[in-house]
Amino acid sequence: MIKLMFVLLLNMQLAINISAKDIIQDYLGSYKNYIDIKGTINDGVYTEKNNLFTFKVPQLIKPGATIRDYPTTVSFIDDLGTLVRIDYRTLNHFRKLGMKDKDIIEYSDKILYKDIYRSNDSMILIYKKIVDNKMFIVFKYPEGSTLSDSKTNKRLDAIRGSVCFISNNIYYTISTQSSKIIGLNEKNYDDVPKILKKLKKYYSDFSVIKSNKT
């Protein structure tokens, strides 16, 4: 009961101070869930429309949760700035450039920066490490949050981490992001170990169908 009251109070505070910068959510209004997918969700597990992979749907604050997928992306977002996103690309493009699997993983930070995040020059790389053929990367992302401060109309700062890997001739990126919410998590929003812990969990919640992760 106490936990429920805390969540409700927290949602009320956030509703006053911040707003979600998502067109669909803005249109529907706060505190409504929105799901627009071509894949399926059964028993809390998302299955990609072409049966490439499954992913356990992350915990999202409800109401206010949004789940959407596109041809090469699926995202999970809530009104507290939670962002979990999976991007996937075939290896054909990279191999036409003469890149081997090892090269693709090694240059994942540059691939993320330009091709997947499509970022401006404000992102700051603060961590990268290859572990068991997976690249773990963390960026600081000024004004990169899914949330904005209603007083200034500027997006909040965020920290975004990704784990990149190749399986079944597909390059996958699982990303998560936390936002710097003033007065709530200013001291630890950019805690890299916490981001890495989340990424490892999301990686364990991910499974390629009819194939083993490499």
Instruction: Give the pLDDT score at 27.
Output: 34
| Percent of the chain whose pLDDT exceeds 90 | 37
Domain spans in the chain, listed from the N-terminal domain onward: 2-208
pTM of the model: 0.76
The beta-strand segments (E) located in 100-184 are 124-131, 134-141, 147-149, 154-155, 158-167, 170-179
CATH topology of domain 2-208: Protein Transport Mog1p; Chain A (3.40.1000)
Q: How confident is the model at residue 207 (pLDDT cuts 50, 70, 90)?
A: very high
Instruction: Give the pLDDT score at 16.
Output: 31
The beta-strand segments (E) located in the chain are 18-20, 34-36, 40-42, 45-47, 53-56, 66-70, 73-77, 83-90, 124-131, 134-141, 147-149, 154-155, 158-167, 170-179, 206-208
How far apart, in whole angstroms, are the C-alpha atoms of residue 59 and residue 73? 19
Alpha carbon of 126 to those of 15, 82, 139, 176, 191: distances in Å?
31, 20, 6, 15, 11
The more confidently predicted of residues 191 and 196 is 196
Tokens linked to 172 = 């996958």
How far apart, in whole angstroms, are the C-alpha atoms of residue 94 and residue 59? 34
Could you give the 3-state DSSP secondary structure of residue 15?
helix
- Whose CA is closest to 111, among 142, 127, 135? 135
For 192-204, the pLDDT digits (tens) are 888 899 999 999 9
Alpha carbon of 208 to those of 67, 118, 191: distances in Å?
20, 26, 29
CB 182 within 8 A of CB 157: no
Q: How confident is the model at residue 81 (pLDDT cuts 50, 70, 90)?
A: low
Phi, psi of 167 (to 5 degrees): -150, 130
For 144-163, the pLDDT digits (tens) are 676 777 777 777 777 889 99
For 36-59, the pLDDT digits (tens) are 899 999 999 999 999 999 999 998
Q: What value does the mean pLDDT of the chain take?
A: 76
The answer, yes or no, to whether residue 6 has pLDDT greater than 50, is no
The answer, yes or no, to whether residue 121 has pLDDT greater than 70, is no
Residue 100 CA, distance from chain mean position: 26
Instruction: Give the pLDDT score at 181.
Output: 57
Q: Hey, what amino acid is at 58?
A: P
The more confidently predicted of residues 110 and 167 is 167
How far apart, in whole angstroms, are the C-alpha atoms of residue 86 and residue 94? 19
